[in-house]
Amino acid sequence: MLRVVVLLLMLSGTALAASGAASLPDDARLAPVRAGLQGRIDSAATAGLPVDALVSKVREGLAKGVDAHRIASAVMYLADNLEAAQRFVTARRPGPAAPGLVRSLAEARTAGLDLAGLQSLVAADRPEQPARRAVEVLTDLSLRGYPVQRALTVVERVEVREPAALDRVPSLLETIRRDHALSPAEAVDALARGLAMADSLQGAYRRAGEDERRKDNGKGSSSAAAEVDGPGNSDSAPGRLIKVKLPPGQAKK
């Protein structure tokens, strides 16, 4: 439950985060936890973490009427995830860790994703902005119910080949699911097969749709054949047609 609260506040507080200061709001409701919160924010600032995310979370919690102690717990949890994300980035990319990438990885960790499984998305040769967006898209897909490891294959391929198309991955997968009545796993597998045969995301989407339509048509043909020549449709052996003997003198038509 705490993970969900933290993640929702992080996602809804994006606009405030851009302008949030590294000091707590002057709100009497924070009195019981102010000292601990300010100390955690100060230590995060010293470590070079994006403290605007922490302050933004406090503001959002107050705006939603969340109890001060729950706000404090959420902030501490987020700070821990930010620290883990920063260590993850600095161990894999030279130079200071980009705040945007750190925050995206912290959101992914809050959503339950294992950072070790995201190494390919944040490798040193990946530009920061596509890497950050790839992590955000994978987190979004995870929250929608897509299996992470399968979705990772799709996101990674799009990040490498066509990073500008990353934002379209969730909507295309949802369309494939809806149009062909597929499960999340089936939809992501269909798009992955399309990507293996096409040079662009749009081309992969078309291939996936064509493949699923062929499967649907094949199922329809099989069903029709089963009605005529399937088990249980005759008194003879399963799968055989009945030969009808006409009365003597009656011509076949």
Cβ atoms 199, 161 nearer than 8 A: yes
- Name the band, by pLDDT with cuts 50, 70 and 90, for residue 238: very low
Q: Return the beta strands (E) in the chain as ranges.
A: none
Rounded to whole angstroms, how far apart are CA atoms 110 and 13?
15
List pLDDT tens digits, range 94-147: 888 999 999 999 999 999 999 999 999 999 999 999 999 999 999 999 999 999
Domain extents for the chain?
1-112, 126-222
Provide the mean pLDDT of the chain.
Answer: 84
List pLDDT tens digits, range 189-204: 999 999 999 999 999 9
Count of beta carbons in the 10 Å neighbourhood of residue 129: 13
Q: Pick from 188, 152, 160, 150: which is nearest to 172 by CA?
A: 188
C-alpha Rg value of the chain to the nearest Å: 28
